[in-house]
Amino acid sequence: MNKETAKNRIDFLRQEIDAHNRRYYVENKPNINDKEFDFLMKELEVLEKENPEYFDPNSPTQRVGNDISNEFEQVAHKYPMLSLGNTYSAEELINFDSRIRKTIESNFNYSCELKFDGASISLHYKNGKLQRAVTRGDGVKGDDVTQNVMTIKSIPLSISGENIPAEFEIRGEIFMPHKVFEDLNQQRIEMGEQAFANPRNSASGSLKILNSSEVAKRKLDCFLYYLLGEKLPSFSHSENLLIAKSWGFKVSEHIKIAKNIEEVIEYINFWDKERHNLEYDIDGIVIKIDSIKQQDELGFTAKTPRWAISYKFKAEQAETILESITYQVGRTGAVTPVANLQPVLLAGTTVKRASLHNQDQIKLLDVRIGDFVYVEKGGEIIPKIVGVNTNKRTENSKEIEFISTCPECNTPLEKHDDEAAHYCPNENNCPPQLKGKIEHFISRNALNINAGEATIKALFDAGFIKNISDLYKLTFEQIISLEGFKEKSATNLLTSISNSRQIPFENVLFGLGIRHVGLTSAKKLAKQLKNIKAIQNAKLDELTQLEDIGEIVANSIVRYFSDEKNIQIIENLKNAGLQLERIENENFKNKLNEKKIVISGTFSISREEIKKLIESNNGKLISSISNKTDLFLCGENVGPAKLEKAKKLNIATIYEADFMKLIE
């Protein structure tokens, strides 16, 4: 194929794939099947590889993300991202309406919209191409998350249509649909990772993952609700959104124009019930004056627009009976009381359990067995008890007496004055604590061993593992004897355990599960004290003198190492060949002295290797060019837009060969 034919075919495929993406992710009307789609994509990938000079950062092939760990650059918003005033009742809405009528004498309409519950995002387009995506941040400046946002299929990388301004911003909400959220949490629980509390946390957490190929797996989605710019196609906000829809943006189909506040209230009442049938979360309704001229007339206060307000739905409540309380013991020995309820329907699901947090909470609510209690779902997985209907209380009900011994091992519980929780101190023998410690040890940020909670339980119940170091004594015969294990899965588990011997010391230290030693503290300790022996031998005052190590962490470390059992476990881990010493990167040089570097194009070595080179020379890889960038490193076929921008901002540009010389 000659160059011209290749270029034409690439252009055609890009347009075709963009259109299919739009039909599938925005309009819900696909007209080809997955196989046919993959076929087009494959063809484009091959052609782009064969013709690297036609590289385009906005090509649909760029949506898969990459595994370069990006630090997010902070970018100032052109128009500040303000929040909205909240209302909770019809009365407050009527007041809002009266305030507006004082300024605006002519007729006006309200645009009523769903208030999506996710993470807000500002997208910047220039000449029909997505240039940049920035989070709300503090409203004045946010994080540049362009690479991550590019993986969201309903966000167009290129748009086409009529009246597209040369430059504009469009704002919206990135969210995670219920189904995706449930699947993700299921997976996380199986992997022994902490489940996300709700789809909102999950969406905003996903947006901040440093590795965009991981973000791509999260299947985020995005509704756009606000078009901004100097030359917009219409003076009506809702019309602008409809026009933006025709360019390829995902705009909600539930926007409604209301002629007065009564119609707004009707819309709110409708959605208060109907919201439970949506496939995503909304937490209220947004009401905006539709005419942009009238919006301008009303203007802004310091924090919010005067032309828009939100109405927040009340958290749904249900009344049911508290049947009993069970006490759960976690990895650290903390005891959590959980209420067992008579099953009741709440916001579309049947609720059987609710969290009671701790003894103080039980006292505060004065909740008793047999009480009629109010449960509320505030977007968390496990609902909470928010009150008691004392009118229905039976005369002989008694105050709940918090347990005094561990429900799992019978050891007397302890409570420290400065903490709300009760603890079981039997950390070396209490089964859920032992299992919990092993689950923590194998988790992703620790030893990253590929096993779920169920496997740990089975190994533990069979008596094969009692503590973390026993994992390294497991045999093939033991694993295969467990239900559900076959030759391949048993080998995989053993390989994963074996591979964990390469895990760096800081992660091993985190994996030990010393109370209050999170990953950050583990990294700080490893960096300063270098090895486990030094940490073990350090006195309390030596520890508190370390950078970023406070008294609580220091005390906890001393306590951990004063236990002979822990010393023995560490000895076993050492014999098993784990990394108990920090490996200083011998190649680490300071040639780049924390320079912020953006790379573009193809290099003679892989991007992963380039990244390693930058990091081992104390440079920082960032994702997009701004005036904070120190160096622009170009490979072959560097993106012309980036090159131009680097020139414009006067950023030093360097090619691969010179870069190699620089770091030698």
Residues recognised as catalytic: 115
* Residues 545, 527: Cα–Cα separation, whole Å: 14
Closest approach of Cβ 267 to ligand IVH, in Å?
A: 13
Give min distance, CB of 113 to ligand IVH, in A: 4
Rounded to an integer, what distance in angstroms lies between the CA atom of residue 326 and that of residue 262? 48
Alpha carbon of 286 to those of 148, 249, 265, 599: distances in Å? 27, 19, 12, 41
Report the residue number whose CB is nearest to ligand IVH. 120
CB of 83 to ligand IVH, least distance (A): 4
How far is the CA of 159 from the CAs of 131, 164, 266, 600, in angstroms? 12, 9, 35, 23
Nearest to 229 by CA among 75, 79, 127, 84: 79
| Closer residue to ligand IVH, CB minimum distance, 224 or 614 | 224
Q: Where are the alpha helices (DSSP H) in 443-550?
A: 453-461, 476-480, 487-499, 505-511, 519-529, 532-537, 540-544
DSSP 71: B
Taking residue 427's Cβ as centre, other Cβ atoms within 10 Å add up to 21
Q: Give min distance, CB of 268 to ligand IVH, in A.
A: 13
In angstroms, rounded to a whole number, what is the distance separating the alpha carbons of residues 523 and 444? 15
- Shorter beta-carbon distance to ligand IVH: residue 241 or 346: 241
Please state, in angstroms and rounded to a whole number, the distance separating the CA atoms of residues 661 and 664.
5
Rank residues 115 and 250 by Cβ distance to ligand IVH and give the closer one: 115
Q: Which of 638, 569, 570 is nearest to 600 (CA)?
A: 638
SS3 content of the chain, % helix, strand, coil (to 5): 40, 20, 40
Between 173 and 376, name the residue whose CB sits nearer to ligand IVH: 173
Residue 395 CB, shortest distance to ligand IVH, in Å, is 47
Q: Copy the structure tokens of residue 283.
A: 């937490």
Chain residues in the site for ligand IVH (CB under 6 A): 82-84, 113, 115-116, 120, 136, 173, 225-226, 286, 305, 308, 310
Per-position DSSP letters for 30-42, written without gaps between them: --S-HHHHHHHHH
Between 84 and 580, CB nearer to ligand IVH: 84
CB nearer to ligand IVH: give 99 or 648: 99
DSSP state of 180: H
Q: Which is nearer to ligand IVH, 48 or 173 (by Cβ)?
A: 173
Least distance in angstroms from the C-beta of 225 to ligand IVH:
4
Residue 142 CB, shortest distance to ligand IVH, in Å, is 11
Rounded Cα–Cα distance for residues 196 and 575 (Å):
36
